[in-house]
A and B are shown apart, each in its own frame.
Chain A
Amino acid sequence: MQKLITLQVNGERHELAVEPDESLLQVLRNRLELVGPKKGCDSGGCGCCSVHVDGRVAYSCMMYAVGAEGREITTIEGIGSPATGLHRLQQAFIDAGAVQCGYCTCGIIMAAKQLLDTVKQPSEDQIRLAIAGNLCRCTGYAKIVDAIKLAAAQT
């Protein structure tokens, strides 16, 4: 039985009929066509699907869409785009060479954003801890850490 829900995503309201066991990730990708959150594992192990729920980073694959009703969802598409201007983290990831295949990138930027939203000048320990729930197989994280430092220095 589908359930009618209202989702608030990147500042827009969406009325949707969803299955009760549909994950937030599935709804974002398949129904709202927001492809920034990626499926890397669908089981809470990689962080590619990370989004913000009420300002806190969450694995959207591990959350039912029905459970997201009434909460403020933000995806990478909501923090900056070529049309609206990039978020400083997005620019820093480009500048520091933190993007390789890029499949982890949107999730890691969302994790890093939560850190920079709460800590203005994070230490390297804090940066590494903030992205410890996100796997990257290409970069060894070195340039990702550099990018987050670079973005932090721009505040």
Chain B
Amino acid sequence: MAADVLLSVQGLTTVFDVGATPLVAVNDVSFDIRKGETLGLVGESGSGKSVTAYSLLRLVQPPGRVAAGRVLFQGRDLLALSEKAMCGVRGAGIGLVFQEPMAALNPVMRVGRQIGESLVVHGLASTRQARDRAVELLRAVKIVDPEKRVDDYPHQLSGGMRQRVMLAVALACKPPLVIADEPTTALDVTVQAQILDLLREMKRTFDLSLLLITHDLGVIAEVADRVAVMYAGRIVEEGPVRTIFRAPAHPYTQGLLASIPHGRTGERLVAIDGVVPNLAHLPPGCAFAPRCPSRLAECERAVPPDVRIDEDHRARCVLHAAAGAGAGR
């Protein structure tokens, strides 16, 4: 593991024990996040983004379970920690921001207390200090009038303000890593833009690493340094944001980028044919094969290897198997 790697996920596999055969929601997923880096995890609904995030934090509930893998964070395997040690990691080591701030915030607790709570729980501040810290954090996330707002309840805030509060909660203990699961999906575009600006600024001021989960490639282009593309539980391509947008290697990534409307009025859009696969009925080989315009006969025989295209760029596709330097990690 390179010295500047903060989080290294290796072969993470999470299944749901429903029905006759377990549903593999996260399938042999590996990626690294370096210090100060933002990794964008992009994919369609059901591709396994949220389950990946929950698995890292060991928040997957039965019938789900992590079946295999390692999650190395600051040199420790989180999957091997005691529950007590893991509680220390959540909040103090890794902050979490959800898509729906209203569901994640306690509706009957003033926002100031929610922000300060983890400081008190982790023994980092007294109740009195926690309140002052909450005001500071509200100011940091650009809430106007933080001294007043600290005593508000979540329902008194707009959607964008609630997401700022969520971010303040996540940042309270100054964790080195924040996981944000679709943090702007429920927001208006104008508010989304403000939150993305804020995320970028927080990254700098708090020297954060960020795992940013989204289904929107636009959001990725705005904030991420590197991108991992998920399809049907697997990472099918990973690389620097510029490489992924300029020279996508996987046919699915190519299709996603092409389907973004950027033409002028009246032009047809470039669509990916077919439907998003059902995890319970995956084809035997490449999960994208039924929709892939470049499909070969061998694609349907076995799951394609994870091919390293160059030092920082890999894709799971047979088209690159010949050219690449063998299987990835």
Q: Do A and B come from one complex?
A: no
Interfacial residues, chain A to chain B (CB-CB below 8 A) = none
Interfacial residues, chain B to chain A (CB-CB below 8 A) = none
